Chain A
Amino acid sequence: MKQTITFNLNGESVQVEIEPHLTLLQLLRDKLELTGTKEGCGMGECGACTVLLDGKTINSCIFPAMEVEGRSVTTIEGLTDAQGNLHPIQKAFVEYGAIQCGFCTPGMVLSAKALLDENPKPTEEEIRNGIAGNLCRCTGYLQIVQAIKAASGQ
């Protein structure tokens, strides 16, 4: 039996009919065709599927889509402004070489956003803790940490 849910997605109200067993990741990628959110493991272990739920990071691959009813979801597609300009965190990722293959990048950027929204001037250790749930195989994290530090104005 399909059920209807209504939630805020990247600043707009969305109403969809879904099978109740759907994960949020499946809803975003398969139903809404927002493929910026990636599936790296499907088990909540790598962070590639990170999105923000009411501003906090969640692994969308293990999060039931039904539970976003009435709440607010931000995906990587919602980070640029109305003119399509990059968010300062995205800009810093580009400028500091924080992106190689790019598969972890959307999730990493959203973890960085959640971190800076809560703690605008994090220490390096806080940055490393903030993105510890997001695995990256290419960069060794260093340029990612530098980018987040730069985005925080430090």
Chain B
Amino acid sequence: MEEFINVGKRIPKMDAEEKVTGKAIYIHDLKVPGMLYGKILYSSHPHAKIKSIDTSKAEKLPGVKAVLTGYNIPPIKFGVYKDNVPLKANKVCSLRDEVAAVAATDPEIAEEALNLIKVEYEILPAIFDPEEAMKEGAPLIHEEHVGGKEKKPTNVLNFPWRLIAGDVDEARKNSAYVAQDRFKVTWVAHCCMGTSGCLAQFDQKNNLTMYSITQIPSLAQRDYMDALATMGLKDKRVRVIKTMIGGGFGSKLDTYAFEYIAILLAHKTRKPVKILFSREEEFFATSPRQPAIIDIAQGCSKDGKLTFRDIKMVLDNGAYTSWGATTPSVMMMPISSLYKVPNVRYVAKCVYTNNTYSQAMRGYGNPQATFAIDSQIDILAEMAGIDPLDFRLRNANTPGEVTPQNFKIITCGLRECIDIVAQKLDWRQNRGRRDGRGMGMASMIHVGGGARVYKSDGCGTIIKMDDFGTVNVFTGATDMGQGSETVIAQIVAEELGVRVEDVVVTHTDTDICPWDVGAHASRTTFVAGNSARGAAKKVKDQLLEVASKSMGESPENLDIRDRTVFSKKDPEKKSPLGKVLRAAHYTAGGSMVMAEHFYDPTNENLDREFKGNLSVTYAYGTHGVEVEVDKETGQVKILKYIAAHDVGRAINPMLLEGQVYGGATMGIGYALTERLILKDGKVMNPNFLDYKMLTAKDVPNIETIVIETNDPFGPFGAKGIGEPGLVPTAPAIANAIYDAVGVRVKDLPITPEKVLAALKEKRIQETVVRIQKK
């Protein structure tokens, strides 16, 4: 076992002291001189024609500097499908549609101005059910959108999500047992504690500085540049500066109307404009996790070997597309590759409705798919008369496997995860009593070595060293609280032989930091980590080269430990790093110790059949839970929660545990309490009283177990762990509830009402069976 100085240590987050003292600057705290406040007027109807907008009164209000509508802005388009515009003209398609915006000297004046804008609508028939929206004759959300061979107008998006491996129909015929079920999952909100916002500022030459909380600075920069081009500002520069981010979880993986509105208002007024969301806006005007209707069948042989998995899915896309519309591509991952399943078929349709449009959220489709898959594994195991623990072990993935989607599994600790969870729960002893207490488990696979979603999955790092041995790291990575800054510092410190406190990581400014595709797919530790390590290696080579001259020793014989260059042959021969650096700078013909490294993993884009080795390595995990179900109230109480994860290597166990605790807690909310309630397109619970996010009182103690498989491609062996923590939570809990009281709830969240209804249904059925027997 290698000994590390900085890697594997529970080092506090580098920004923790700024945050704990209230000194950290979030977008909410940012003010620049002359700044105006932007506010947005949203649609009053989920589907309507805009007949007229009268902004004359608002424009006359003292303090109002600009009023924009869809009728007086350039045709900026955004969204994956380019089907969205910052301010809507002619027609609105959801209640979060932006119809006008105001910039004023004071937020209250801006708010007052919104009230003075008169919009006349002609209401159109609306549709909120994706299955209804697929039918012929359904109201069309975007009349110009056509699909299918005949290019007919349709609400079904032209994403051909279809993954086929093997022969599902044949396998189904030959299966000893087949389970067929329908699962449903609904909207949940990211609930970042810091609401969304941005501040747009143009300089005299019309270059844009965008103060932002994005998770994708480099891609956002490009989106804003496209917008500037449409505004007639081609070739102008865009600088994205991130403030501290008050939570991300995927919500900031795209650019949104409010950002373009701020840019348009800033350009119009020639003043900096800040837009900050209220909590209500955050709930109804940002994009939640996708709802899905999942028809799933799985089969197995007599001895419990999975034979096939067949899934049809309908996703409610809402009125516009974001990157979230591509979640089926990630759903393919568990569908094809969670447990060994030789024959797979997956077909998904994303459908426009007049609901809010969805977006990426931690797990990116994986939690939805895994809920269906691993709930049904228990159903199938019961049909086959096999303990679900044994069923999972029998089908567990193994190293060296190539999955039906052509994922090459390098390291895989799934069996170890299942085993340890079973052991911790005392599974063989305690399961299957049906006495109100029960236990369940579920597993997950996720990309752990980047994910080639775009043409590049790369991240750049620049490292420079000053005169005294301080290491400045400029990374493309984004820290939104998960701690990438600290993890990168640990990796660089380890490689360079310095202390973590010697490393300063800058990650907030596109003018300074290298390119990166963003904080998504749990890729930062792996990709940005490898990138940082590569740059550190180059810097180290330079340092040893420089030191070799002054120390009279060949570079191969030198190494660095604890800020000191020393000879491996003669450890007494040493020189402090600062001295080596000063020698480099102050010598005639001197040099600057500095290096850059761009790391783009060797993973593959999915091909036309959606196959390919999406990630260099894959993360696995198993969660086990013991619950107590109150048969009178339907309340589910979690008694024990075990989360075992194959993490490759824990660079910082404390931060890693934080990811698992946080992920699992979000997952428990997903399983039991959280849902954004939409009625006729309107969010009915846009506040924390009615949206049931878990409090400290509701969360059980979660025991995290780290399985280190030391991945050969990971930085010091590490895999990504940002998302895995919430992926298997809901099915593990659903399975435990079944074990406790014998009812299977197939739609999330599993509220007490649903448990009670299922218990009632079960009693009725048991009575019917008894009567029939008599």
A positions within 8 Å CB-CB of B: 29, 34-43, 45-46, 48, 75-77, 79-80, 86, 90, 93-97, 99-106, 109, 127-129, 131-145
Contact = CB atoms under 8 A, between A and B. Distances in A.
Interface string B24-57: 1110110000000000000000000000000000
B466 interface: no
A1 B299 CA distance: 75
Contacts of B482: 100
28 contacts: A34-B22, A36-B22, A37-B22, A39-B28, A42-B279, A43-B279, A75-B22, A77-B22, A80-B21, A93-B16, A99-B16, A99-B19, A100-B13, A100-B247, A101-B246, A102-B481, A127-B696, A137-B193, A137-B247, A137-B662, A137-B693, A138-B247, A138-B658, A139-B665, A142-B699, A142-B701, A143-B658, A144-B696
A40 B662 contact: no
A104 B246 CA distance: 9
A144 B561 CA distance: 34
B755 interface: no
Contact of B20 (A41, A43, A102, A134): A102
A135 B16 contact: no
Contacts of B12: 94-95, 97
Q: Please indicate which of the listed interface residues B24, B29, B689 has the most CB atoms of chain A within 10 Å of its own CB.
A: B24
A76 B16 CA distance: 14
Contacts of B244: 101-102
Contact of A139 (B17, B245, B662): B662
B108 to A, nearest CB: 10
A142 B663 CA distance: 12
Contact of B22 (A46, A94, A95, A106): A106
Given A35-B28, A135-B693, A141-B665, A45 B687 contact: yes
Contacts of B693: 135, 137
Interface residues of B, number: 55
A133 B44 CA distance: 33
A77 B20 CA distance: 10
Contacts of A102: 15-16, 18-20, 24, 244, 246, 481
Nearest to A36: B22
A135 B28 contact: no
Nearest to B701: A142
Contact of B695 (A35, A109, A135): A135
B28 A143 contact: no
Contact of A93 (B20, B190, B663): B20
B661 interface: yes
> What are the nearest 3 A-B pairs in CB distance?
A36-B22, A102-B19, A101-B481
A100 B28 contact: no
A149 to B, nearest CB: 12
B21 A141 contact: no
A97 B482 CA distance: 11
Contacts of B279: 40-43, 45-46
Contacts of B687: 41, 43, 45
B689 A45 contact: yes
Contacts of A86: 17, 20-21
Contacts of A46: 193, 279, 688
Given A35-B25, A77-B22, A143-B657, A101 B665 contact: no
A137 B658 contact: no
Nearest to B30: A35
A31 to B, nearest CB: 13
A36 B662 CA distance: 23
A25 to B, nearest CB: 11
Q: Please indicate which of the listed interface residues A136, A137, A141 has the most CB atoms of chain B within 10 Å of its own CB.
A: A137
B190 to A, nearest CB: 8
A90 B191 contact: no
A135 B195 CA distance: 13
A141 B687 CA distance: 20
A99 B247 CA distance: 11
Interface in B174-194: 190-194
Q: Please indicate which of the listed interface residues A40, A77, A105 has the most CB atoms of chain B within 10 Å of its own CB.
A: A40
Contacts of A137: 190-193, 247, 249, 662, 666, 693
Contacts of A134: 696
B238 interface: no
B675 to A, nearest CB: 16
A101 B213 CA distance: 12
A128 B696 contact: yes
B740 interface: no
Contact of A140 (B21, B192, B665, B689): B665
B240 to A, nearest CB: 19
A97 B655 contact: yes
Nearest to A133: B695
B13 A99 contact: yes
A88 to B, nearest CB: 12
Q: Please indicate which of the listed interface residues A36, A99, A109 has the most CB atoms of chain B within 10 Å of its own CB.
A: A99
Contacts of B26: 38, 103
Nearest to B665: A140
Given A137-B191, A139-B662, A143-B661, 9 more contacts: A100-B481, A135-B191, A137-B192, A137-B193, A137-B662, A140-B664, A142-B661, A143-B654, A143-B657
Given A43-B279, A77-B22, A135-B688, A141 B696 contact: yes
Contacts of B658: 97, 100, 138-140, 143
A38 B28 contact: yes
Contacts of A131: 696
A37 B26 CA distance: 11
Contacts of B13: 94, 97, 99-100
B212 to A, nearest CB: 15
Given A137-B662, A140-B665, A40 B193 contact: yes
A106 B693 CA distance: 19
B770 interface: no
B696 A145 contact: yes
Contacts of A136: 193, 696
Nearest to B660: A140
Contacts of A96: 654
B673 to A, nearest CB: 13
B702 interface: yes
B219 to A, nearest CB: 21
B480 interface: yes
Contact of B10 (A38, A93, A97): A97
B688 A140 contact: no
B205 interface: no
Nearest to A45: B688
B455 interface: no
Interface in B444-492: 480-483
B278 interface: yes
Nearest to B481: A101
B679 interface: no
A129 B695 CA distance: 9
